[in-house]
């Protein structure tokens, strides 16, 4: 790309609320070569905890402000919310408004960071830009087949699709007979050194009277925390004392709180809410557990590996591409008995825990972030070459 202008790249995201997709995209924006790319971020809502994580040098464009900028007066707040909905509706219905009022120039490449942005990128006012979709979802667990098919077919309209795990692409081909010749599998980057540094930035007071299982994730039914709670109760009833801490928030919080209260587990099962820096909690726990019914390529698995934590995880999505079963983690099915047996082994077999912990010592060899950024760079450059032909 010598003697050639920078490629103009526009990432689109709904907001910057805490989430794996947001963290992945912000990481790319920070680490893609600045001598090759001019990067901008278009947000539907300037909202969320990760606003402070936007890398320097990234142009920020947003369609509307988030709730944190609203009035504290409830009546005024409702009016502001109605006006915001109208504004967003107009931007969606008339992409020309987004172009002339917000973007004010064309970009060579437009990126849908997740399926939430598929329509906005495909309906872009600039029909010539090269359009790339990032897909992070294992569709085999979505019971809404109409929604699945809509997403699958929309991906075919993009110039290129990036899947964050081979499993995700394979599931679509195996279950629906649809392939994507113009696609890549590019794993999400993990920075082991940064994670280790952040893990000692804060002192967290975790009571270590008994072993602690830590989990990080959105409080959603598919994350399996309701099942984990049942398993925890069963282990406690068998005299296997331990505690569970979960970092994250979501729509299942009240249901989980009620379940905790009903089972009288307030002293041992803790919902700690979202943490901007979860690493000290993972580091100071004894084990990490991910009981999800479905996942794509959850960054938190690599983060726990980087912190050398023995892991129990369900064998879903791209997780088998991350964990070597029996070496640096234990894989189980999304099944109450299997999760119970794995947790019981961690609590009663110190030699197994030692073996798994030792297996994580070389886990950082899996985290070749330079290779990942090079793969993304090559995809962008290939798309740009097709644009200027």
Domains 7-189+368-388 and 192-366 share a fold: yes
Query: What does the angle CA 273 – CA 277 – CA 279 come to, to the nearest 5 degrees?
Result: 100
Q: Given this model, what pLDDT does residue 37 score? A: 98
Q: Given this model, what pLDDT does residue 143 score? A: 85
Q: Which positions ≥6 away from 374 have C-beta within 8 Å?
A: none
* Distance from C-alpha of 351 to C-alpha of 1, rounded to nearest angstrom: 54
* Bridge partners, residue 141, by sequence: none
Cβ pair 347, 9 in contact under 8 A: no
Helices (H), ranges, 45-159: 74-93, 95-97, 118-122, 145-155
Read off the DSSP letter of residue 119: H
- Domain definitions of the chain by residue range: 7-189+368-388, 192-366
Q: Hey, which CATH number is domain 192-366, 3.90.1150.10, 3.30.930.10, 3.30.70.1230, 3.40.50.2000? A: 3.40.50.2000
Cβ pair 242, 210 in contact under 8 A: yes
Q: Which architecture, in CATH terms, is 7-189+368-388? A: 3-Layer(aba) Sandwich (3.40)
Q: Given this model, what pLDDT does residue 2 score? A: 46
The token duo for 372 is 């990942």
Q: Given this model, what pLDDT does residue 89 score? A: 97
Listed as ranges, residues in the chain with pLDDT below 50 are: 1-3
CA atoms within 13 A on the CB side of 80: 14
Q: Given this model, what pLDDT does residue 4 score? A: 65
* Distance from C-alpha of 230 to C-alpha of 336, rounded to nearest angstrom: 8
């Amino acid at each position: 790309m010598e003697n050639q202008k920078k490629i103009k790249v526009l990432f689109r995201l709904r907001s910057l609320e805490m989430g794996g997709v947001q963290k992945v995209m912000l990481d790319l924006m920070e680490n893609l070569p600045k001598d090759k790319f001019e990067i901008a971020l278009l947000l539907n809502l300037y909202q969320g905890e990760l606003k402070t994580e936007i890398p320097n040098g990234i142009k920020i464009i947003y369609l509307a402000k988030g709730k944190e900028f609203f009035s504290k007066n409830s009546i005024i707040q409702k009016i502001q919310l109605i006006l915001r909905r109208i504004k967003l509706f107009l931007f969606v219905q008339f992409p020309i408004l987004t172009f002339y009022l917000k973007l004010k120039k064309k970009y060579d490449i437009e990126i849908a960071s997740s399926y939430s942005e598929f329509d906005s990128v495909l309906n872009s006012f600039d029909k010539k830009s090269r359009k790339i979709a990032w897909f992070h979802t294992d569709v085999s667990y979505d019971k809404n087949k109409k929604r699945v098919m809509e997403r699958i077919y929309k991906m075919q309209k993009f110039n290129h699709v990036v899947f964050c795990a081979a499993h995700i692409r394979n599931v679509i081909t195996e279950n629906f007979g649809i392939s994507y010749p113009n696609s890549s599998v590019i794993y999400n980057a993990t920075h082991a050194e940064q994670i280790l540094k952040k893990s000692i930035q804060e002192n967290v007071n975790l009571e270590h009277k008994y072993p602690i299982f830590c989990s990080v994730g959105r409080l959603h039914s598919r994350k399996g925390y309701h099942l984990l709670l049942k398993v925890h109760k069963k282990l406690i009833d068998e005299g296997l004392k331990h505690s569970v801490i979960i970092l994250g928030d979501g729509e299942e919080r009240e249901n989980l709180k009620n379940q905790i209260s009903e089972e009288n587990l307030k002293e041992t099962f803790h919902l700690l809410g979202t943490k901007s820096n979860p690493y000290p909690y993972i580091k100071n726990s004894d084990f990490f557990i991910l009981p999800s019914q479905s996942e794509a390529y959850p960054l938190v698995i690599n983060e726990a590996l980087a912190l050398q934590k023995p892991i129990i995880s369900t064998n879903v999505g791209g997780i088998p591409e991350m964990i070597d079963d029996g070496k640096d983690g234990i894989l189980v099915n999304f099944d109450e008995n299997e999760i119970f047996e794995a947790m019981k082994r961690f609590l009663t077999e110190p030699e197994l825990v030692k073996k798994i912990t030792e297996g994580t010592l070389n886990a950082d060899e899996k985290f070749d972030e330079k290779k990942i950024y090079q793969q993304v760079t090559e995809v962008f450059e290939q798309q740009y070459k097709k644009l200027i032909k």
